[in-house]
Homo-oligomer: A and B are copies of this chain.
Amino acid sequence: MAKIKIGPSTKIYPMPALLVGANVDGKPNFMTVAWGGIVNADPPMAAVAIRTSRHTHKGISQNRTFSVNVPSTDLVKETDYCGITSGAKADKVEVCQFKVFYGKLGTAPLIEQCPINLECKVAHVLELGSHTLFVGKIEETHVSEHCLTAGKLDVSKIKPFAYISEPAQQYLALGEVLAKAFRIGLELK
């Protein structure tokens, strides 16, 4: 299995397509982020990497709160739009017709159409170079009732999607179930 070296790169797959929200100058704004995820269990924490020049960066810095919204596949166009447009130049909420609501933090805007909404309070800020890593304590989770099956979240209803950059920059749906986790590995024990 021949290997080649391509130098330092940002190749990890899959990455999620997420909408990160912040109030900027008092107005809700959202940007698309693939560089985000969960980083702690107790207490639950999420981290998002935001380029320092972004409008959202300004908003998170102003309020020290942000949201992570998981869009479903029917929001792929809006998700992409939020990644290629600056909130400094357009009202993304209006263009995307997002229904915005607020939870317990009061300053982290949430998108009603997204099945999952995390409210985060900044706990750590790491300046890494091009990007700032905002680590947030997750203070509340809002989920869309229609994404539950027998009271449990159901990914087949949430319909999240991934961002993949190779060979082309694309959004991909999730596919077939390969195996049960914490189970199939027992065959090697």
When the two chains form the complex, which single residue of B47, B80, B96 contacts A133, counting CB atoms closer than 8 Å? B47
Nearest CB of chain B from residue A83's CB, rounded to whole Å? 7
Chain B residues with Cβ below 8 Å from A15 are 16, 37-38
Query: When the two chains form their complex, are residues A40 and B133 in contact, meaning their CB atoms are under 8 A apart?
Result: yes
Please classify how large the interface on chain A is, using the bins under 10, 10 to 19, 20 to 34, 35 or more. 35 or more
Judged by a CB distance under 8 angstroms, whether A113 is at the interface is yes
Segment 6-33 of A: residues with Cβ below 8 Å from B: 6-16, 18
Chain B residue contacts of A137, Cβ below 8 A:
8
Contact of A183 (CB < 8 Å), options: B80, B133, B174, B189? B80
Q: Does A58 contact B (CB under 8 A)?
A: no
Residues of A within 8 A of B (CB): 1-16, 18, 34-47, 49, 51, 68, 70, 73, 76-85, 95-96, 99, 101, 103, 112-113, 116-118, 123-124, 126, 128-131, 133, 135, 137-146, 148-150, 152-155, 158, 160-189
Q: List 8 A-B contacts (CB under 8 A).
A: A10-B38, A35-B38, A40-B131, A80-B183, A155-B166, A169-B180, A171-B181, A173-B176
* Interface pair A130/B1, CB less than 8 Å apart: no
| Bound Cα distance from A77 to B164, whole angstroms | 23
Of the candidates A34, A37, A124, A172, the one having the most CB atoms from chain B within 10 angstroms of its own CB is A37
